[in-house]
Structure 1
Amino acid sequence: MVIVFLLSGDLKTGQAKDLDKANLIIFHAGSLAGPFKTLEEQFEKAYPDVDVLRESLGSRLAARSVSELDKEADIVAVSDYRVIIDILMPKDTNWYLCWASNQMVIMYSENSKYAKEINSNNWYKILLRKGVNYGHSDPNLDPCGYRSLFVWQLAERYYQLPGLYKKLSQNCPSKNIRPKETDLIALVEIGELDYVFSYSSVAKQHRLSFVKLPDEINLEKIRLKEDYKKASLKISGQKPGTYTKVFGEPIIYALTILRNAPNKDLAYKFISYLLSKEGEKVFLRSGQLPITPAIVNNLKYLPKELRHLNLVSN
């Protein structure tokens, strides 16, 4: 049996399909690369006849790889449940599970300019200083990209600083915007960027320092969902030349098994493992809070093979 995960858009270095094993193909958000690598290793140990390969992409690009490019996959796991609704439903799937959360932070290294000075109260002042370089991922390809801009919009309201969003946007050139948030890590490590808007789990997994933002702007708290909705952005739609409007919401990760998945039996087993106590531990160690019980959009459409799991319907 084989589970296919493609990392950073490419097959893992030196890895080839084992023709004696079955294949399970999984496209996942870049911010899931760390925990999914661990899940892969544990799952392959439990199922020696399985080979796991991963493709790590911005969540919207991962979904479009299926819906527009007709790439074959079994599971798609994204950092925003709305990606599944907007891009994969109803053609490629009719259900999804929400199982993890996160929060936005500002990631940096010890060599970043003003690293010893930046904090949750002055971060925007530091970013706007001359010579400071900061970046984020592409909003059209990756939810972390539009969430970064939501943080800026919410910060303008929270700190009562009219024009802050515009200033932060104008001071972030296009060369500082990359397809997914994990593409920016190396730029921080080598000093090309001083600061990057990312998830707390990514910073923790890569042992980078980060500024913890106020709950009012970090997109973590369910209780603040109405306040988060005050931020919005137009991003590219499903069809070329079209646009869709997204609003700020608490960060919720989701996954689904595709309608035409070539190896559904393995996909059921993998998701069952991901939602097990062992799977929960993986995400906790990776700095991500599991949502327990996991939430399914509609129990009516959930495959019977997953109905033994501890789930609730939203």
Structure 2
Amino acid sequence: MDTHDGRGRSPSRSRRELLAGAGGLTAGLVGTAGCLGSTDGVRVLAAGSLAIALEERIGPAFEAESDVHYEGEYHGTNAVLRLVEDGTKYPDVVIGADIELLRDRLYPDHADWDASFAANEVVIAYEPETELGACLETDRPWYECFGDADEGAIAISDPDLDPLGYRALLLFELAEREHGLDGFRDAMADTVAYVPDETQLLADVESGNRACAVAYSNMAAEREVAVRRLSDAYNFGAPAAADRYAQASYTTADGHTVEGSPVVYNATVRTDADDPVAGREFVAFLLENDDLLTESGLRVDDSLPRFHGDPPEAIKP
């Protein structure tokens, strides 16, 4: 059953809000890392949905424990992998939000192992004081509310840059299959607004400029926006539903076909990293500090971490 999780806004202003007021989350978290590859320390290129977790919590904790400087840059996972593949960026550590996508794109030229370390789920974040938000606060099925939405009222990230974007389209396809909603996926693809920067996806929902966005659970929790939670059949958060998710697929603009899958993050150290020792130290820290991940709204169950390939001994907890 889908559930509602209305959240009040905190009166205090966090560093995140101050950054947003000074030009947006991207300017604060990505723009300062635009020269990734030129700074001593560990350089991390990661999925945008982890930007706040890494920049505000995990990165500083790693610096405090290791005395190694942390530098991060954040984009949709498809964009992250493209930047590595074409030699635009030279991170030590790469973190993605779709484990198979990272392996398809980086193995064997740039990586030969990875560690899956945290899970997430897809939710609908919304502004209650909008017509669509008011509908989502009722018991009416979310797909009926979406079907009545005005063009541009719903935001999703760019499916050609970001797994969250194509998971939104796959969500629409799963609903179409389950409820006999002929043409629902295509209709929603024409109705939604596409946001190219994942880290900015919820900014317009917070401001009331858009009614809702298809987001990850941790992103909504960080932004303290109201949430309509989805059942396991739709939320890409249940390993037991993996076969169901895989019934839907999407082909990106550059020709990569991806199937629906549970949201799991994996990390690797590039085989030709400038500082592989710092990279391995950071990934080991990531795997050994579940509390920092769960405090960031992510899930770490008994199946994590999981390893693929042959990671170095320094990585294994």
1:25 is the counterpart of 2:34: no
Question: Which structure dedicates a bigger proportion of its chain to helix?
Answer: 2
Give CA deviations for 1:246-284 in whole Å, capped at 9, x if unaligned: 1111111111000111111111221121111xx211111
Q: Which shifted more, 179-188 or 144-153?
A: 179-188
**Among 32, 52, 55, which residue is 1:11 paired with?**
32
In the TM superposition, residue 121 of structure 1 has moved relative to its aligned partner by 4.3
User: Normalization by structure 1: what TM-score?
Assistant: 0.84
User: Normalization by structure 2: what TM-score?
Assistant: 0.84
**Among 252, 267, 277, which residue is 1:235 paired with?**
252
What RMSD in Å do the two structures reach over aligned CA positions?
2.4
Larger relative contact order (CA 8 Å, sep ≥ 6):
2
**Structure 1 residues 211-290: aligned runs within 5 Å:** 211-237=228-254, 243-276=255-288, 279-290=289-300
In the TM superposition, residue 209 of structure 1 has moved relative to its aligned partner by 0.9
1:166 is the counterpart of 2:186: yes
Q: Is the 8 A contact 2:125 2:212 kept in 1?
A: yes
Q: Is the 8 A contact 2:126 2:227 kept in 1?
A: yes
1:297 is the counterpart of 2:314: no
Give CA deviations for 1:187-209 in whole Å, capped at 9, x if unaligned: 11222211111101110111111
**Among 93, 100, 107, which residue is 2:118 paired with?**
100
Report % sequence identity.
25
Work out the number of aligned pairs and report it. 287
Give CA deviations for 1:20-51 in whole Å, capped at 9, x if unaligned: xx321100111111221201111111133x22
Structure-1 residue corresponding to 2:144: 125
Structure-1 residue corresponding to 2:133: 115
In the TM superposition, residue 167 of structure 1 has moved relative to its aligned partner by 2.1
Give CA deviations for 1:115-160 in whole Å, capped at 9, x if unaligned: 2331574222222325361121111110001100110000112233
Q: Is the 8 A contact 1:141 1:179 kept in 2?
A: yes
- Structure 2: how far apart are the matches of 1:104 and 1:232? 16
In the TM superposition, residue 16 of structure 1 has moved relative to its aligned partner by 11
Stretches of structure 1 lacking an aligned partner (at least 5 in a row): 1-5, 238-242, 310-314
What SS is found at the alignment partner of 2:164?
A: helix
Which amino acid in the other structure matches residue 306 of structure 1?
A: I
In the TM superposition, residue 291 of structure 1 has moved relative to its aligned partner by 4.2
Which amino acid in the other structure matches residue 262 of structure 1?
A: D
Q: Is the 8 A contact 2:133 2:212 kept in 1?
A: no
